[in-house]
Chains A and B, each alone.
Chain A
Amino acid sequence: MTAYIIRRILVAVPTLVVLILLCFFLMQVAPGGPFTSERPLPPQVLANIEARYGLDQPLWKQMWDYLVGIVTRFDFGPSFAYRDRDVNDIIAHGFPITLTYGLISFVVATLAGMGIGVAAAIRHNTWLDYIAVGATFSAQALPNFVMAPILVIVFTWQLGWLPGGGWNGGQWQYLVMPVIALSTSYVASITRIMRSSMLETLNSSFIRTARAKGLPEHKVVWRHAMKPAMLPVVSYLGPTFVAMITGSVVIDVYFSTGGIGRAYVDSALNRDYAVMLGVTILYGGLTVLFNLLVDVAYAWLDPKIRY
């Protein structure tokens, strides 16, 4: 197992390097640059700015300086759009915000989704099951960019219970709507996966054996059915977790949370190369890490899997 984990980490390094290279050159190919604006800069001014940021150097040199900066100084470069901040600042500010609401949403979505899913499977073909299935279908059909403004209309304008946006250091009042908006569709997906997987497990022969032995139903479900039924859910949770903690531009746009999702999209629109690369590396690193964790969790859940 340890050897497997080390091997995976070693493979991750070239993966990330390829990711950086690909991202770096794709950005160069995109039309326009960081200083393309409605008021085109006089050539001399543009030249001055490019010299300031080293953009007048050949591409390989820019790439090399960038990598050297990361490795030697852990410096991910400057932001072209915001001069008083660099990439480290932007990530250090935005990522904890995204991590906070993402983590809470993940816990909410996982607990609610698995709970409802298991309950619906146990009470298969009862009114509880029908409500759960109906509600999850509607929740999935309602995208968060529709849900977010509706939440603001209801909770801020009509009821006056919650502030319409902002972060304020993550006070709970500011977290409620982002968490609802972000977790709802995930609750729905997890419920559906959990329900169908649990139904399948409950119909398998080893469960019939357990029941035949006369085990009480709660023991059958929690002791025997739960672990195998969770496998499809866990494989879904890995990428979901990364998606949730790396932020949602929709949440940042509608609730002005100031998270990293918005910064990432902005960096692409602004051609803010270093910010874009920095966030891509962060996302890439997290994806690699959580895929590894999911594989390790698999081995724990399913004794048949060996690395």
Chain B
Amino acid sequence: MKSTPKILAAMLLGATAATGSAFAAGTHPVTGEALAEQQVFTYRVLDEHSSVDPQIVEDVSGSDVVRDLFEGLMNQDAQGRLVPGTATGYTVSDDRLTYTFSLRDNAKWSNGDPVVAGDFVYAWKRAVSPELASPYSWFMELMSIENAARIIAGDVPVDELGVSAPDDMTLVVRLSQPLPYFPQMVTHATTFPVNPAVVEAHGADWTRPENIVSNGAYVLTEHIPNERSVRERNPMYWDAENVILERTVALVINDENTALTRWLAGELDRTEVPAGQFPRLQKEHPGEAISFPRLCNYYYTFNLSESGPEAFRDVRVRKALALAVDRKIITENILAGGQIEAFTFTPAATAEFEVPDVEIASMSQAERDAMAKTLLAEAGYGPDNPLKFEMIYNTSESHKKIAVAMSQMWKQKLGVETTLANMEWKTFLEVRANQGFELARGAWCGDYNEASTFLDLLTSPSGYNDGKYSNAMVDELMTLAKIADDTQAIYTRVEQEIADDVPIIPIYHYAGVYMLGSDVGGWPISNIEQNWYSKDLYKIAE
């Protein structure tokens, strides 16, 4: 009896030795690269994260933390493809309305509790509960989970949500309509499980480092608001033996240029490249300045509602303005970070989306300018009767540069007189959402990797359609796309309609532009959503 604690201690030590330092100063099991002694990744975030509660988090930097702390049913690999997470896989019923996920039996919470299907049921009900009032509850509605919308509206009790756990290892989800990309959506933070006992015990404070219990590859060990948060390897994680990185540190650095200086000083492994500096940094730090496509677009939207200007109701005016924007100058001279000229709303990098041949894309800029002049003249605008309007954007140096460039292009080529107005972010959103503008900046990042996350925005019922564009054909096609087997043909048609109607002027598609230390291995450059997991990263010995 007496020796039991000693044996236990010895076993624990052995276990720690086996899992703790298996990789330090070793080699990477797949690539064979020599690994650094210190497995710590430090990166810059612009702002303090909103929360690390999976059901509440709404910002990108918070989601990055949550993705390390918690593990959902499925994960993404370096290419953004689905790979098993807490679930080993799933089956779909013939009517495509029921998904059954099988959970792995060795998944554990960081306090040693097993992860069971009931934890997911609890979390998903929590996400839609009016009592929690999650700002991301709409995501569960978007997932078409049975009764989600009615629960959020308060018409039906939370227990009616279409999710159940027949046993600890099985999670059954019922949808209100078939949704081809449903499995993609369970990689989103809102769907991650929480430990019911911990949430109930600590209330809103359960996410503090001293209280939090999580099931991901990392646990939150330190959080100093507006300064930094630290997450460390979770020895209870089911795949802990394959996790190489010991610690990930997020530093809040508001100023982009200071962050770059600190990267140069070696304090950071990753930071964003300020607009226009990419070519220089690429020369000075070859291989460390990287750029890759992102799932986001940048556009200007015409106000087509009653309150919008008369001139914009003429498609020739809208088309002329869209044609005369020389996107190459914006992407190559202003931003200069590998951004892609946009002629469609959906970025080319979107999964299973092929950019359709829209007319404007295949023309030279000289041809576009000539056509723009003709169209605007036909619409009745010229030197005696110049087109005048106001364009608004939210206060930011790069938005300003782009707006100034666009207004100059219009002035020189078409004699159009634009007034520029910048607004503080929330004021801008309020004005845009209430159609208090003529031409407004817009940008959208996909919620999931499928074209409908963009194209739904231009349907009449969409709450994000600030220009109030309405085309019955687009609405009908997008409804059809929800249940169709072959969606590509539908999305091509929709993009064609948009190219003909020009409710928006696509400017460019985003690029992720980073300074990434050459000793960081495993960064998922090909994951267009940039859903990265610390457990897949490693530091290479220099």
Binding site for B on A (CB under 8 A): 30-33, 35-42, 44-45, 48-49, 51-52, 81-85, 90, 93-94, 148-149, 152-153, 156-157, 160, 163-167, 252-254, 256-258, 262-263, 266, 269-271
Taking CB as reference atom, which chain B residue is nearest A167? B227
| Residues in B whose Cβ lies below 8 Å from that of A148 | 258
Contact A160 B426 (CB under 8 A): no
Q: Knowing that A83-B56, A156-B267 are A-B contacts, what are 9 other residue pairs whose CB atoms are under 8 Å apart, sorted by A's residue number?
A: A39-B464, A42-B463, A45-B138, A82-B50, A84-B53, A93-B225, A164-B265, A165-B251, A165-B253
Contact B152 A45 (CB under 8 A): yes
Contact B226 A263 (CB under 8 A): yes
Q: How many chain B residues touch the partner (CB < 8 A)?
A: 51
A271-B254 contact given A40-B463, A48-B130, CB 8 Å threshold: no
| Residues in A whose Cβ lies below 8 Å from that of B262 | 152, 156-157, 164-165
B228 at the interface (CB under 8 A from A): yes
Q: Would you list the 6 A-B pairs with minimal beta carbon distance, nearest first? A: A32-B426, A258-B226, A48-B133, A164-B262, A258-B227, A49-B133
Chain B window 505-521, contacts with chain A (Cβ cutoff 8 Å), 1 for yes, 0 for no: 00000000000000000
Contact A32 B138 (CB under 8 A): no
27 A-B pairs with CB atoms under 8 Å apart are A32-B429, A35-B135, A45-B137, A45-B152, A52-B133, A82-B48, A82-B51, A83-B50, A84-B51, A84-B53, A84-B207, A84-B208, A94-B225, A152-B258, A152-B262, A156-B262, A157-B262, A157-B264, A165-B253, A165-B262, A166-B228, A253-B255, A254-B254, A256-B254, A257-B227, A258-B226, A266-B48
| Residues in B whose Cβ lies below 8 Å from that of A82 | 48, 50-51, 225
Complex formed: what's the CA distance from A148 to B253 in Å? 13
Complex formed: what's the CA distance from A164 to B224 in Å? 17
Which residue of B53, B224, B463 is within 8 Å of A258 (Cβ)?
A: B224
Complex formed: what's the CA distance from A160 to B265 in Å? 7
Contact A157 B265 (CB under 8 A): yes
Complex formed: what's the CA distance from A254 to B50 in Å? 21
Taking CB as reference atom, which chain B residue is nearest A255? B258
Chain B window 107-142, contacts with chain A (Cβ cutoff 8 Å), 1 for yes, 0 for no: 000000000000000000000001101110110010
Complex formed: what's the CA distance from A254 to B257 in Å? 9
Complex formed: what's the CA distance from A90 to B48 in Å? 12
Complex formed: what's the CA distance from A252 to B137 in Å? 33
Complex formed: what's the CA distance from A81 to B59 in Å? 11
Complex formed: what's the CA distance from A41 to B204 in Å? 21
Contact B51 A256 (CB under 8 A): no
Which residue of A41, A51, A167, A269 is within 8 Å of B425 (Cβ)?
A: A269
Binding site for A on B (CB under 8 A): 47-48, 50-51, 53, 56, 58, 130-131, 133-135, 137-138, 141, 152-154, 204-208, 224-228, 251-255, 257-258, 261-262, 264-265, 267, 424-427, 429-431, 433, 443, 463-464
| Residues in B whose Cβ lies below 8 Å from that of A270 | 426
A149-B225 contact given A32-B426, A38-B429, A40-B433, CB 8 Å threshold: no
Contact B261 A157 (CB under 8 A): yes
Complex formed: what's the CA distance from A146 to B204 in Å? 40
A42-B426 contact given A149-B257, A164-B258, A253-B254, CB 8 Å threshold: no
Complex formed: what's the CA distance from A306 to B56 in Å? 59
Complex formed: what's the CA distance from A163 to B56 in Å? 33
B60 CB to closest chain A CB, in angstroms?
12
Contact A256 B251 (CB under 8 A): yes
Complex formed: what's the CA distance from A44 to B135 in Å? 11
Contact A31 B431 (CB under 8 A): yes
| Residues in B whose Cβ lies below 8 Å from that of A152 | 258, 261-262
| Residues in A whose Cβ lies below 8 Å from that of B261 | 149, 152-153, 156-157, 164
Complex formed: what's the CA distance from A164 to B259 in Å? 9
Which residue of B53, B138, B255, B265 is within 8 Å of A83 (Cβ)?
A: B53
| Residues in A whose Cβ lies below 8 Å from that of B141 | 42
B448 CB to closest chain A CB, in angstroms?
14
Complex formed: what's the CA distance from A149 to B56 in Å? 35
With most chain A CB atoms within 10 A of its CB, the pick from B50, B53, B225, B257 is: B225
A32-B427 contact given A48-B133, A51-B133, A156-B265, CB 8 Å threshold: yes
| Residues in B whose Cβ lies below 8 Å from that of A263 | 226
Complex formed: what's the CA distance from A65 to B292 in Å? 51
A262-B154 contact given A40-B464, A256-B227, CB 8 Å threshold: no
Complex formed: what's the CA distance from A114 to B257 in Å? 35
| Residues in A whose Cβ lies below 8 Å from that of B265 | 156-157, 160, 164
Complex formed: what's the CA distance from A45 to B443 in Å? 23
| Residues in A whose Cβ lies below 8 Å from that of B131 | 52
Contact B226 A252 (CB under 8 A): yes
Which residue of A49, A266, A269 is within 8 Å of B426 (Cβ)?
A: A269
Complex formed: what's the CA distance from A68 to B47 in Å? 33
| Residues in A whose Cβ lies below 8 Å from that of B429 | 32, 36-38, 40
B264 CB to closest chain A CB, in angstroms?
5
With most chain B CB atoms within 10 A of its CB, the pick from A49, A152, A256 is: A256
Complex formed: what's the CA distance from A82 to B431 in Å? 25
Contact B267 A149 (CB under 8 A): no
Taking CB as reference atom, which chain A residue is nearest B445? A38
Taking CB as reference atom, which chain A residue is nearest B206? A84
Contact B50 A81 (CB under 8 A): yes
Complex formed: what's the CA distance from A152 to B227 in Å? 17
A44 CB to closest chain B CB, in angstroms?
4
| Residues in A whose Cβ lies below 8 Å from that of B53 | 83-84
A254-B208 contact given A31-B427, A42-B463, A48-B130, CB 8 Å threshold: no
| Residues in A whose Cβ lies below 8 Å from that of B50 | 81-83
Complex formed: what's the CA distance from A35 to B56 in Å? 13
Which residue of A40, A44, A84, A258 is within 8 Å of B205 (Cβ)?
A: A84
| Residues in B whose Cβ lies below 8 Å from that of A258 | 224-227, 252
Contact B152 A48 (CB under 8 A): yes
A269-B424 contact given A82-B51, A165-B262, A256-B252, CB 8 Å threshold: yes
| Residues in A whose Cβ lies below 8 Å from that of B227 | 166-167, 256-258
A100 CB to closest chain B CB, in angstroms?
14
Taking CB as reference atom, which chain A residue is nearest B139? A39
Complex formed: what's the CA distance from A269 to B152 in Å? 28
Taking CB as reference atom, which chain B residue is nearest A85? B225
Complex formed: what's the CA distance from A262 to B255 in Å? 12
| Residues in B whose Cβ lies below 8 Å from that of A81 | 50
Taking CB as reference atom, which chain A residue is nearest B51? A83
